[in-house]
Structure 1
């Protein structure tokens, strides 16, 4: 069995185990299963795996970005790659939330629903655009790395790589050393992936066991519409953009992204999935590292297609529950706020709710309405993260193709980058 099949198997078994624990009542608070399985073994193994992935993010982003800039070798080319990816990320996010608003409004979710919630949610004001721009440049790059602030880390990495290029031959030793460190980090990714199927089982089983089926039934309309829009964006919008702008096969793209999508689903974090996404984009899709090392971490930071969709559907849902008429200007404000908020927020679990509170405060919706959807957000966060990383990979592929930085033989080879094949070759060696 290859790694992808093992991970999918772990995911399937995790769903079954979680449903058994939830529906039979074995996961009741204080029970043996709750104490030793759900909040014990499953939590420990899953959290250790997610921490292991997060451990790699900052050094991998720094080393791969510096290598990428040095590999491009042309500052003008770097500018083109950056501007293309930035525009594409913003366009896909705007399309995502516009689609969500249209479909959610069409279904009229939340109308006539008298839902109540005892959950509290503390809102957060939207940061001014000036603050977002200022914070891109780190006053202390080491502090930014320690805190995992990806935009400042990306900025410093690009400046470091550009400076190496400008110094020229004297900096060759430094660039070679960083390239070796980058190879070491990618090897660490391979090592951690060995335990992935078991970690995915634990993460999925715990999430499903904790999710109350009664709550899911109460919010069924919201959940189904949100999942439907997410799947539409993943299978239609992103694939149409891929086909139109690159001419590549969407079917091949989806097959090669399955493994990454499962990891994103399990971790609910675009940032934690960066090592896996970067590996899939370079080894499976054939994007040159010089492009992928920039577009993937950049996308994990500013590309929030799935989160934008959640904001659109949730805004309509809460507005209908509280009988608030948003109007055309309200919807345009939601689209603009979601796009701007996606630039200034990190790709970590639960960040969508913080972004949603910013949107609500701008259009006059009660922040406490977010408490109504808190219960099911963990499951939906998993799905929208899978959509986010798929958008990162799609934009990376399109930009690479437009710049002649895509190896189409690798893209069209079904076995390219297959981990089981790699291990076989290593064993034979």
Structure 2
């Protein structure tokens, strides 16, 4: 048992054990679960703090390691094609499932009390939200899309600069 709890090979087993213990504590000792909830909140806050730096370092390292602008363009184009294909595929699955399941078929709209009009953001709003007014505010608010866009632009600039950006490349690579 000690080997399972300390070995990195048994991560799934440890997660499953923690999951079962959490369910049992929630069912049989609900007040205790509420008393130690702050530990989980601290853990989630630590994870949230780490997301932006991890994304920055991972994306920038990936782009920097590609090397040349020609390879970067080729791989970027292939990535966009794969993204579009996956988007179309998942949208198709969603449409088929919604056609078969028909969610909301028996919901009475008047009973929900919604009187307003549904508005979806325009393409202009979408692109304006991707590019933040203040980079540091976007980073502090956890704006993932703006962070990725900035990281891609920053990393492409590093690749374009070449040898002069070697200290920045080494710094980013040292953080991975």
TM-score (norm 2): 0.74
Residue 37 of structure 1 is matched in structure 2 by 33
> Structure 1 segments of 4 or more deviating over 4 A?
107-120
Alignment partner of 1:4 out of 6, 12, 21: 12
**RCO comparison, higher one (Cα < 8 Å, 6+):** 2
Tell me, what secondary structure is at the counterpart of 2:131? coil
- Report the number of matched residues: 167
Alignment partner of 2:44 out of 41, 50, 54: 50
Shift in Å at residue 55 of structure 1?
Answer: 0.7
Q: Deviations over 1:360-400 (max 9, x none)?
A: xxxxxxxxxxxxxxxxxxxxxxxxxxxxxxxxxxxxxxxxx
User: Aligned runs of 1:16-415 on 2, under 5 Å?
Assistant: 16-18=24-26, 20-21=27-28, 33=31, 36-38=32-34, 40-41=35-36, 43-108=37-102, 111=105, 125-180=119-174, 182-183=175-176
Shift in Å at residue 73 of structure 1?
Answer: 0.7
Unaligned runs of 5+ in 1: 28-32, 184-429
Shift in Å at residue 158 of structure 1?
Answer: 1.9
Residue 316 of structure 1 is matched in structure 2 by none
**How many angstroms apart in 2 are the aligned matches of 1:64 and 1:128?**
31
The RMSD of aligned alpha carbons is 3.2
Residue 15 of structure 1 is matched in structure 2 by 23
In 2 relative to 1, CA 132–116 (structure 1 residues): closer, same or farther, beyond 3 Å? closer
Tell me, what secondary structure is at the counterpart of 2:121? coil
Unaligned runs of 5+ in 2: 5-9
Residue 263 of structure 1 is matched in structure 2 by none
**How many angstroms apart in 2 are the aligned matches of 1:89 and 1:10?**
35
Shift in Å at residue 160 of structure 1?
Answer: 1.8
Residue 192 of structure 1 is matched in structure 2 by none
**How many angstroms apart in 2 are the aligned matches of 1:145 and 1:72?**
25
**How many angstroms apart in 1 are the aligned matches of 2:96 and 2:120?**
24
**How many angstroms apart in 2 are the aligned matches of 1:175 and 1:94?**
35
Bigger Rg over Cα: 2
Shift in Å at residue 131 of structure 1?
Answer: 2.3
**How many angstroms apart in 1 are the aligned matches of 2:151 and 2:49?**
17
TM-score (norm 1): 0.34
In 2 relative to 1, CA 82–117 (structure 1 residues): closer, same or farther, beyond 3 Å? farther
Shift in Å at residue 162 of structure 1?
Answer: 2.1
Shift in Å at residue 174 of structure 1?
Answer: 1.8
Tell me if the contact between 1:58 and 1:148 (Cα under 8 Å) persists in the aligned partners: yes
In 2 relative to 1, CA 98–145 (structure 1 residues): closer, same or farther, beyond 3 Å? same
Tell me if the contact between 2:69 and 2:160 (Cα under 8 Å) persists in the aligned partners: no
Tell me if the contact between 2:25 and 2:33 (Cα under 8 Å) persists in the aligned partners: no
Shift in Å at residue 176 of structure 1?
Answer: 0.9
Tell me if the contact between 1:138 and 1:156 (Cα under 8 Å) persists in the aligned partners: no
**How many angstroms apart in 2 are the aligned matches of 1:47 and 1:15?**
17
